[in-house]
Amino acid sequence: MKLSSVLCGVFATLAVAFPKEYLSLATWGVEGYAKDNPIGITTGGKGGKTVTVTTAEELVAAVKGTEPKIVKLKGKVTLPSRLKVGSNTSLIGVGLTAHITGAGVDVYHGDNVILQNLKITHILDNDCITIRNSTRVWVDHNEFASDINQGPDHYDGQVDIIRASDWITVSWNYFHDHWKSSLVGNDATFRDLDFGHLHVTYHHNYWRNMGTRGPAGRFGHQHIYNNLYEDFLYQAIHSRSDNQVLVEGNVFRGNTSEALSTYGLVIPMDSPNTCTCGDEELDGYANLGAKNDWGKAGVNITQKGNFYKADYKYKLTPLKLVPTVAKLGAGVGRIWRLPEKGKTQPPPPPVACLSHVHVSTANDTCESLALEYSVSSAEIFINNPDILQCDDMVEDVPICLPFQCNTYQVKENDTCASVSESLGITIKDFISLNPWSSGGAYKDFPFGKLVCSTPSDGHYNRTINKSDPADSNSADEVVPRPENADPVANPECGRWYTVEEGDDCRSVLGQHDMSLSLFTAANPSVSASNCTMSLIPGQAYCVGPTKNALPESYPPPAYSRHGCYFSGNQIQDFHRPTLALSGPRLSHIKPLSISSCQAYCLSLSLPVFGLQNRDTCICDDRLRMDSRRDEIWGCESRCGYGKEDCGPDQRPMEVFSSYQLLAVEYANIGCFESKEEYVLLGKDYMEWGNSTLEECANFCTVALETDYFALQTKFLLGVISTISICFIINKILNRIILYTSSTAQPWDWSKEIVLITGGSGGIGSEMVNKFSRRNITVISFDIHPPKSTLSTNAHFYKVDVTSPHGIHEATEQVRREIGDPTVLINNDGIALGKDILACAADQIKQMVEINLLAHFWLVQELLPSMIKQKHGHVVTIASVASFITIASNIDYSCTKAGLVAFHEGLTQDLKHRYNARDVLTSIVFPYWVRTPLIQNLTTHSTFQDPLQEPKEAAEAIVDHVLKGHRGDLFLPGYTGLLSGIRGFPAWMQEMIRDSKASVLRETSF
C-alpha cells in the first residue's frame, strides 16, 4: 500500500468523525443536576438587572442580596476577604479578562447561582469556590490553578461542595497545577446531614497536573462523564465513606497513578488531619456506565453500588473525541451561543480566533464561505465545532475562518492523486496542505469542495472600520514608544500592549483583532511557531502598527512556507523538548524536498534547517519530522515526547548523518553523500526487499562509505505494521497470563516498605527520591553514602552486597528498626567494558557477586515474610544485554543473562513450590542509561543507541511498581523486540552484533 493511500484514508476517517451534532450549542447550556432536579432549572440572575464591575469593592456590593441580578466582572481583582454570593445571581467574567485572586468565592445558604467564565488562582485562605448548604449552583467554563510544587497543604480545594448542598453541575472547567481539586462532602461529623443530598454532575472538565480529588466524594451521588484527566499523582476519582459515583466516557492520559478508587484509605497527602499514615474511612461505591479510557492508570473498585443510571437526559461525547472536545471547550473564553429568539444582535466572536470572524447568514455553506474568502472549506468545518452541517448552517453563529490560500475546486470522482496531478504537486505536498483529505472519490464529500493548493499565509483583504481602533489591525498615527517596549519591535506603532503573567497569544491577538502574521511582523522577537513561549511578561509589544510601517503583504508565518531557517548562535535554545524551530527566516525560494533544503542551508553554512506547515522541530541534537497535529490525531508524537504508541502509519520518518543533521526522503531507500562543504551531491539506491534499519545503515555507511541513510517509507510502514501487531498481541497475552491475580491484597503505600540496592547513584538514587517524594518508606542499601540528604521517610544502610553475612546483618537491623520490606528492587550493578583478556580474575568475581549472586542472598533474606503475608514484589534489574552480547561486554552480558534465568526460576518457585502467586515478580531490561555505570564506556547518544536519562528509567520502574504490575518492563518499550533475537537466523544475529562492535570503548578507569 502506498503512503499516500494510507494517509489519505486515515485523514478521511478522522474528518468524518470530527465534531458534529455532539457539540451542538445545547452542550454549552446547563446540563445535569443543576438543570434536572425537583426544584427547577438553575437560571441564576436571569430577568434581573445587569451590572459590569471592575474593582473588588464594586464586586462585593454587586453580588449581595437575593434579588435576581447578572454581575459581569471585567479585569483582575484582588479580594481582601472571601466573596459572599447571594441567591439568584449570575457572576460572569467578560471575555478573557476576569481574574480573581486574594480570596475565594463562597455560596453559603444560597440557591440558584451561576459562576461562569472566571479565572480564580492562588487562593490561600480557603477554597477557590466553596458551596455550602446551597442548592442549584452551576460552575461553568472557569479556570482554577495554583502551584502544585508548594505541596498538598499550601492551598486548599478548588471547588468544594459540602454540608448538604444539592443539585450542582460542574462543567467545562479547566483545573490545573493544584493538589486537592474538588471535594464533595465533609467529614463523618456531617454524615447524617449529608446523606440524601450532594447530587453533583461533573462533565467535560479538563484536569491537568493535579495531586488528587478529581473529585473525591463522601455520602453523596456524583455523575462523572466526558472529563479529561492528565497527570494525577494519586487518585483522580475517589469514592469513599459510602459515596456513590457513576463514571462513564472519561479519558485518562499521561502519568495518572489511579483513575478510580473506592478504597476507603485516604492517603496522607489528602488526609484532613494530615496524619502520616493516612485516614481510614469506609469504602465507597462505583458503577461504570459507557466505556472509559483508563490509559495507563489503575482502577480499584472494591464494591459496586446501585447508581446505574442518572435520572436526567444527557448526551455523551464519543470517547475518542473527548480529549479534543475538552481541550477546545473547557476554560475561560470558550463560550459561544446563539442569540435568544427574536433578537438580531449577533453573539460576540470567539476570542480564540487569530484571523477573521464571519457571522453566518441565511444560505451560507462551508463551500460558499470558502469561495468568498479563498480558504479551505474543510478547515472551516473542522475549526468551528458550532457548524453542525456544512450545507445547513444556523444563522448568526460566529465562524472563525482559517488563513487564506490559493484554492482549487475538486471535481466529482477526484482523488488525492488526481488533484495533486492537476495542481502539479506531489501527493505528500497535497496532504500537507490539506491534512483532512480523502483518498477516495469526492462525490459525497461533506465539507464542500475547495482545497488549498498553496500554503496558508495568514493575510486577509477585508474591510476594517478605521474609525474604531478596537476594530482595526492597523493604527492611524504613531504614539510614543513605551520604556518597556520590545527592543526590536517596529517603532512605527500606534498601539502598545504590556504582557501580563498568564497572557497567551490567543488572548492578546483576540483582544486586538490582530492576525498572527501581522503580530510577528511587527514584533520580530516573537516566534510564529511558538508565539506564547516568546512573550515576556512586563514587556510591551506593538499591537497596532501604522499602515505604512510594514509592506502591504507582510511576511507570512515562517512555518507556512518552504525554506531554510537560521538560528544563528542560539542553537542550544532548540535543545528543549517541544520547542519548535524558530529564528529569522533566511530564505524562501521554492518548494524543496527535505534533503534539498538541507543541502541548500548547508551550502550557506547554516546549521539548522526546516520545512513547511509546522512539520519541523528540533529534539535535542536531532531533527524529527512530524506533520500530525495532536488535537486532530489524538497522538502525542510531537517533538520531545518520545511516544511510540501512535500506530505504524503515524510514525515519523528519520534519516541520520554522522553530523547529527537529519533529513527525510520518502521516495526510496537512499544513501546521501556529503563532501567538503557538507553539500548533498547525490544519492545511491539500494533496491532490495526486507531491509532493517541496521542493514540499511551498514550498506550505506560501510559498503558505500556514505554519511547519510534512510529507509523506504512504504517498506518501513509494512515492517512496523507487522511488528506492531505482534507487539500488541504479546502485550495482551502478557497482561492476561502474567498480570492476573484474583486474591492479591491491595497495595497500601502508607504501610509498604521498599528496599533498593545501589540506591546512592544512577537509577537507584532516582528511585529512592521518587518513592520518598510520595511519602513511601524506602530503604537504600549501598556501599557508598548518598550524595544528598535523604528525606525523613528514606533510610540509608551501608551494605556490601557481595557479603551474604553483611546482607543478613543489615536486613535484621531493618526489621528491628523499620519492619519487613514488602518490595525488593535488586538494582545494584557494575560494568567493566573490557575485552576478555583484559579482565582480571578478581574483577570478574566481583561482577558476578554484585550483578548476580547478591540477588540470591537478598531474596533468601526477604522472601519468607512475603510468602507468609502472601504480599510482596521482587523486581530484578537486568539489561537488554541479557539478549545480545557485544564486544568488550562478555562478563556483563553473562551476569545479566543469568538474571533472566533467576527471574524465571523465582517466579516458578513462588507459583508451584510456595503457593504464593500473589507475590509479584518483575524483570526490567533497560537499554543504555546515562549513569556512572557506563560513564567510562560510552556517553555518546545516537539514534541506534540512544542514552536514556536516569530519571526516565526510574520513573518507569516506580510507576510499574506502584500500579502493581508484574512481568517484563523494557526501557524504552520498543527494545522489547530484541528479546526474540535468539530466534533470528544465526547470520542475522551476527550482523546485529557486528553493527555494535564499536559501541563500547574503555577510556579510563
pLDDT beyond 80 at 265: yes
Site of grid cell 459507557: 290
Tell me, yes or no, if 82 is annotated catalytic: no
Binned at pLDDT 50, 70 and 90, residue 456 comes out as low
Is 567 contained in some domain?
A: yes
- Checking if the pLDDT of 5 tops 50, the result is no
Predicted local confidence at residue 168, as pLDDT: 98
Flag whether pLDDT at 942 surpasses 60.
Answer: no
CATH of the domain at 494: 3.10.350
Residue of 386, 388, 361, 359 whose CA lies nearest to 447: 388
Q: Give the model confidence (pLDDT) of 532-547 as tens digits.
A: 767 788 899 998 888 7
Rounded mean pLDDT, 838-842: 88
Give the Cα separation of 702 and 423 in Å (integer): 41
Q: Out of 670-684, 783-797, 939-953, pick the least confident.
A: 670-684
Q: Checking DSSP bridges between strand 794-798 and strand 708-710, what pairing results, if any?
A: unpaired
Please, what's the b/e burial string for 821-841 (b: 16 or more CB within 10 A of its CB; e: otherwise)?
Answer: bbbbbbbbbbbbbbeeeebee
Highest mean pLDDT among 418-432, 694-708, 845-859: 845-859
Over residues 58-69, the mean pLDDT reads 96
Q: Note whether 686 and 699 are within 8 A (CB).
A: yes
| The pLDDT of residue 717 is above 50 | no
Mean pLDDT for 911-919 is 91
Same domain (yes/no): 173, 315: yes
Choose one of 452, 478, 502: the last residue of a domain. 452
Q: List, in order, residues 6 or more apart from 859 with CB less than 8 Å away.
A: 824, 826, 874, 906
pLDDT in tens, 347-364: 444 434 555 678 888 788
Q: Is the pLDDT of residue 572 over 50?
A: no
Which candidate, 532, 540, 539, places its Cα nearest to that of 516? 532
Calpha distance 296→465 (Å, rounded): 53
pLDDT band at 473 (very low <50, low <70, confident <90, very high): low
Q: In what order do the strands lie in the sheet with 656-657?
A: 656-657, 708-710, 670-674, 680-685
**Each residue of 183-221: pLDDT tens digit?**
999 877 788 888 889 999 999 999 999 999 999 999 999
Identify which of 148-152, 417-421, 853-857, 999-1003 has the greatest average pLDDT: 853-857
How many C-beta atoms lie closer than 10 Å to residue 316's C-beta?
15
Judgement on whether residues 166 and 314 belong to the same structural domain of the protein: yes
> What is the pLDDT, as a whole number, of residue 682?
32
The angle, 0 to 180 degrees and rounded to 10, between the axes of the packed helices 950-962 and 762-773 is 50
Compute the mean pLDDT over every residue in the chain, rounded to the nearest whole number: 73
553 inside domain: no
Distance CA 251, CA 883 (A): 37
> Which of 278, 305, 329 is the last residue before a domain boundary?
329
pLDDT digits (tens, 9 = 90+) for 513-568: 676 667 877 888 777 655 676 778 889 999 888 877 765 544 433 333 333 333 33
Query: Both 356 and 260 in a single domain?
Result: no
For every residue of 230-242, DSSP letters joined together read: EEESSEEEEEETT
pLDDT value of residue 792:
85
Q: Is 448 a residue whose pLDDT tops 80?
A: no
- Find cell 544465526 and name the residue: 986
Instruction: Answer whether 182's CB lies under 8 Å from 169's CB.
Output: no
Q: Determine, yes or no, domain membership for 146.
A: yes
Using the predicted structure, report yes or no on whether residue 638 has a pLDDT greater than 50: no
Task: For residue 552, count CB atoms less than 10 angstroms from its CB and return exposed for 0-12, middle for 13-18, buried for 19 or more.
Answer: exposed
Residue 387 cell numbers, joined: 457548524
The pLDDT score that the predictor gives to residue 857 is 96
| 461 pLDDT tier (thresholds 50, 70, 90) | very low
Residue 210 located in a structural domain: yes
Among 194-203, 243-252, 269-278, the range scoring the smallest mean pLDDT is 269-278
Tell me how far apart the terminal alpha carbons of the chain are, to the nearest angstrom: 53
Report if residue 555 sits inside a domain.
no
Task: Give me the residues paired with residue 135 across strands.
Answer: 111, 166
What Å distances lie between residue 691 and 655, 673, 696, 702, 718, CA to CA?
15, 20, 6, 15, 11
Among 654, 655, 638, 637, smallest CA distance to 646 is for 637
pLDDT band at 433 (very low <50, low <70, confident <90, very high): confident
Predicted pLDDT of residue 145: 92
Considering the domain architecture, whether residues 538 and 568 belong to the same structural domain is answered as no
Radius of gyration over every alpha carbon of the chain, rounded to an integer in angstroms: 31
* Rounded mean pLDDT, 96-107: 92
| pLDDT for 293 | 95
Catalytic residue selected from 82, 163, 213, 561: 213
Q: Is it the case that residue 442 has pLDDT exceeding 50?
A: no
The answer on 591 and 478 residing in a single domain is: no
Query: In the predicted model, is pLDDT for residue 182 greater than 80?
Result: yes
Total structural domains within the chain: 5
> Average pLDDT of 826-836?
88
The DSSP code for 466 is T
At residue 469, the pLDDT reads: 35
Q: Give the pairing of strands 83-84 and 105-108.
A: parallel
Answer whether residue 734 is part of any domain. no
Ranges 13-17, 59-63, 216-220, 986-990: which has the least confidence: 13-17
Q: State the pLDDT at residue 353.
A: 54
Rounded Cα distance, 117 and 99, in Å:
9
Higher pLDDT: 650 or 407? It is 407
CA dist 268 → 103, 360, 995 (Å): 26, 54, 51
422 and 495 together in one domain: no
- 490 and 371 co-located in one domain: no
Judge whether 633 lies within some domain. yes
**Maximum CA extent, the chain:** 93
Binned at pLDDT 50, 70 and 90, residue 396 comes out as: confident
Q: What percent of the chain has pLDDT over 90?
A: 37
- Give the pLDDT score at 933: 56
Output the domain CATH number for residue 422: 3.10.350.10
User: Which residue in 480, 484, 573, 584 sits closest to 528, CA to CA?
Assistant: 584
Which of 95-104, 116-125, 490-499, 652-661 is the least confident region? 652-661
Of all residues in the chain, what percent carry a pLDDT higher than 70? 65
Are residues 565 and 537 both part of a single domain?
no
Beta-bridged to residue 144, according to DSSP, are 120, 175
The pLDDT of residue 714 is above 60: no
Cell triple for 533: 513561549
Q: Please, which residues have CB within 8 angstroms of residue 65's CB and are 6 or more apart in sequence?
A: 86
Same domain, 922 and 975: yes
Regarding predicted confidence, which is higher, 2 or 409?
409
- Residue 26 covered by a domain: no
Q: Are residues 442 and 482 in the same domain?
A: no
pLDDT tens, 681-701?
A: 233 333 334 444 445 555 555
Q: For residue 71, what are the CA distances in angstroms to 68, 343, 756?
A: 10, 21, 58
| C-alpha of 774 from chain center | 21
Last residue of a domain, one of 494, 510, 542: 542
Averaged over 844-851, what is the pLDDT?
94
- Cβ atoms of 694 and 944 within 8 Å: the answer is yes
Which has more confidence, 926 or 412?
926
Print the domain residue range for 521: 469-542
pLDDT value of position 729: 54
Q: Which helix or strand (DSSP H or E) is residue 848 part of?
A: helix 841-848
Answer yes or no: do 378 and 505 share one domain.
Answer: no
Is the pLDDT score of 303 beyond 70?
yes
Where is pLDDT greater, at 13 or 192?
192
Dump strand ranges (E) for 117-256: 119-121, 129-132, 135-140, 143-145, 159-162, 166-171, 174-180, 183-184, 199-203, 206-212, 216-218, 221-225, 228-232, 235-240, 244-248, 251-253
Given a contact cutoff of 8 angstroms between Cβ atoms, the answer to whether 473 and 544 are in contact is yes
- Residue of 84 and 464 predicted with greater confidence: 84
In this structure, of 266-275, 325-334, 494-503, 621-630, the range with the lowest mean pLDDT score is: 621-630
Q: Among 375-379, 490-494, 742-746, 930-934, where is mean pLDDT lowest?
A: 742-746
Pick from 305-309, 623-627, 822-826, 837-841: least confident: 623-627
Sign of CA dihedral 574, 582, 324, 354: positive
pLDDT at 481 over 60: yes
Higher-pLDDT residue of 130, 888 = 130
**Whether 12 and 49 share a structural domain:** no
